[in-house]
Amino acid sequence: MINLEIPKKFVPLVGQAHQVAEEVFRPISRKYDQEEHAYPKELDMLAALIDGMNDGSDLGGGAGAAGVRRTDNGDGGVRNGSNMSTVLGIIELCWGDVGLLLSMPRQGLGNSAIASVANDEQLKRFEGKWAAMAITEPEAGSDSAAIRTTAVLDEETGEYVLNGEKIYVTSGERADLVVVWATLDRSVGRAAIKSFVVERSNPGLKLDRLEHKLGIRASDTAAFILDDCRVPPENLLGSPEVDARRGFAGVMQTFDNTRPLVAGMAVGLTRACLEETARLMSEAGVEVDWDRPAANQTAAAAEYLAMEADYEAARLLTLEAAWMADNSKPNSLQASMAKAKAGRTCVDVALRCVRLCGSLGYGEGLLLEKWARDAKILDLFEGTQQIQLLIIARQLLGKTSAELK
């Protein structure tokens, strides 16, 4: 059975992540919001420290997206593993700053893809590298099965030759590797989509531009052109076979691991907004009383209690999805539920907190206005709110993606 207390062995990790969020992220949060595209160099030392922590631990991740490999504990018992520790670490760090978490070296979403589906040899070869993830294209966002980037096997050299365009690649400029989704045969549909690990230094992977954004400005978002980009066959993740029966399963597996992480980011940001709002309300003489019905309190306190209930629901769904991943239970449904609830809650709570705090919430003197801007992405990338609801509906109704679009 799942126990939703923070597992004892992760308590120190949560404490350390919180300390980093408070002492490293928050003080530089505004600076890198204003200096979009500047590299937060403060993170280099931090990333080295985290590498050291992970090396010396059997807990896997803990701070970023790399620690989501599913391992069988063998004894059939219940475990709290690297998915749980990673989510807990991310919640704390995103209480500090989501954009800076996304900028942490070696913790990219491409690292999750590698951790999720790479074989042992690939895992070792790509160890210590920072990997971004490139799925989205100008004509393929929510419908990732529509991607047009092609991968053609060069029979002579054995290499795959990639051609196409990728947009909105988080950490695309800064990462060492980019995990690129491409199709081996567009006529076959989803089953022919494979992921390839491309070195950033590959001359066929051309950086086109960096995007300017509403929020998470500390995080770089790149667009690439793949122009006869040659990739060695050993950089294909998963099987090179096109198996129509397995369809999308290989690549989609990554999302079951990464959606709880993005939900965790939203949970962390939501808590930051709530705590800041409670502080400001208290300064203004509005106290929240958890022992009295909401209806008997001020409107502001009642609204706060309602937001907090949503936050708790999002947090528990997120922990459940991560726990299921650690225990090798299929969690596509729970991962989408967590992402949908946490993403929606985070946007909603951030905007309501800005409203509750009035001009203080809207001004740049505090971080609330920034958090309201940062929040939106968490309900957008790794599948929008609408797409998560669609996935949930398909699962509950037993419909395929062809039957329910």
Distance of closest approach, residue 372 Cβ to ligand FAD, in angstroms: 15
By CB under 6 A, residue 170 contacts ligand FAD: yes
Q: Which of 107, 112, 136, 195 binds ligand FAD (CB under 6 A)?
A: 136
Closer to ligand FAD by Cβ: residue 14 or 380: 380
State residue 228 phi and psi, 5-degree precision: 45, 50
Contact between 30 and ligand FAD per CB under 6 A: no
Q: What residue type is 301 in one-letter code?
A: A
Considering the candidates 275, 312, 382, 403, report the single residue annotated as catalytic: 382
Shortest gap between Cβ of 383 and ligand FAD (angstroms)?
6
- Amino acid identity at 55: D
Q: Does 64 bind ligand FAD (CB under 6 A)?
A: no
**Is 382 marked active-site?**
yes
Shortest Cβ distance from residue 222 to ligand FAD (Å)?
A: 9
Closer of 286 and 380 to ligand FAD (Cβ): 380
Q: What angle do CA 6, 9, 15 make, to 5 degrees?
A: 65
Taking the CB of residue 2, how many other CB atoms lie within 10 A of it? 11
DSSP assignment of 134-194: E--BTTBSS-GGG---EEEE-TTT--EEEEEEEEEEETTTT-SEEEEEEES-GGGGGGGEE
Comparing CB distances to ligand FAD, the nearer of 6 and 380 is: 380
**Which residues 6+ apart lie within 8 Å of 45 measured at CB?**
none
213 binds ligand FAD (CB under 6 A): yes
- Report the C-alpha gap between 29 and 44 in whole angstroms: 16
Cα 312 from chain centroid? Answer: 19
CB of 134 to ligand FAD, least distance (A): 5
State yes or no: residue 175 binds ligand FAD (CB under 6 A).
Answer: no
Residue nearest to ligand FAD (CB): 141
Tally helices (H) and strands (E) across the chain.
12, 8
- Nearest-angstrom CA–CA distance, 405 and 399: 10
* 109 is a contact residue toward ligand FAD (CB under 6 A): yes
Of 66-74, 127-135, 297-305, 326-334, the window that binds ligand FAD (rule: CB under 6 A) is 127-135
Options 33-41, 66-74, 290-298, 382-390: segment touching ligand FAD (CB under 6 A): 382-390
Binder among 17, 20, 169, 346 for ligand FAD (CB under 6 A): 169
Question: Smallest distance, Å, CB 50 to ligand FAD?
Answer: 20
**Candidate residues 116, 221, 257, 388; the one interacting with ligand FAD per rule CB under 6 A:** 221
For the bound state, the minimum distance from the C-beta of residue 386 to ligand FAD, rounded and expressed in Å, comes to 3
Residue 405 within binding range of ligand FAD, rule CB under 6 A: yes
Tokens describing residue 121 = 């040899």
Q: What share of the chain is helix, strand, coil (3-state, %, to 5)?
A: 50, 15, 35
- The residue from 28, 50, 98, 134 that contacts ligand FAD (CB under 6 A) is 134
Cα–Cα dist 131/143, whole Å: 23
Among residues 123, 135, 110, 235, the alpha carbon closest in space to that of 193 is found at: 135
Active-site positions read 382
Binding site for ligand FAD (CB under 6 A): 109, 132-136, 141-142, 168-170, 213, 221, 377, 380-381, 384, 386-387, 390, 405
